[in-house]
Amino acid sequence: MDDAGLKPGPLKGLTVRPARPGELPACADLYVRVLRETFTWLPPERHRAADFLRAARVEEIYVAVEGARILGLAAFYRPQNFIHSLYVDERGRGIGRALLDHLAAVADGPLSLKCQAANVRAQAFYVREGFRCTETGCDNEVAWLRFVRG
């Protein structure tokens, strides 16, 4: 994949762009690390790099990079404008917002995502970013909320 679609982020030195194939293992590591740090209500062994890599075969993966460091990622399933994953290493710096703004720019309709009900910090973030809860449900005994923006 080339660097077409590079987009400077709102933070100095931050760029949001499509992940390069060679970066997917680092993205999978970030995915697992952030899940284990954040989703403390789930057993850590439930979070596996292989799950991310399997989903990445059918999703577009975007990264927020500063220099050579991947600080965040978003996995986007274009047919449904669905954000499957949004994980940030250094929260509170605007990296998540930059990823969401990039997805909104490349999507061809309203963005949607599911957020686990126990993840109240993420829910607050999505509401601040203009999402609204439109549905609730449960998969594999894990309650979730669907959020939509746009």
Whether residue 134 is contained in a domain is answered as: no
CATH value at residue 75 = 3.40.630.30
- The answer to whether residue 4 scores a pLDDT higher than 50 is no
**Does some domain include residue 44?**
yes
pLDDT at 133: 97
In a domain, 24, yes or no: yes
DSSP state of 96: H
Chain centroid to CA 87: 5
39 found inside a domain? yes
In the predicted model, is pLDDT for residue 7 greater than 50? no
Domain annotation covers residue 105: yes
The predicted structure's pLDDT at residue 91: 81
Q: Is residue 115 part of a domain?
A: no
The string of pLDDT tens digits covering residues 11-26 is 678 999 999 999 999 9
Residue 38 lies in domain: 7-109
| Bridge partners for 87 per DSSP | 73
What CA–CA distances, in Å, run from 16 to 29, 70, 94, 112, 121? 18, 10, 12, 19, 23
Residue 71, domain member (yes or no): yes
pLDDT at residue 2 is higher than 70: no
Strand pairing partners for 147? 113, 133
In sequence order, what are the beta bridge partners of 13?
Answer: none
Question: What pTM value is reported for the model?
Answer: 0.87
Query: Is pLDDT larger for residue 46 or for residue 115?
Result: 115
> Band of the pLDDT at 36, cuts 50, 70, 90?
confident
Domain count, the chain: 1
What would the mean pLDDT of 46-69 be, rounded to a whole number? 92
> With 90 as the cut, is the pLDDT of residue 149 above it?
yes
Q: Is residue 145 part of a domain?
A: no
Residue indicated by tokens 């957020």? 115
Query: pLDDT at position 9, please?
Result: 42
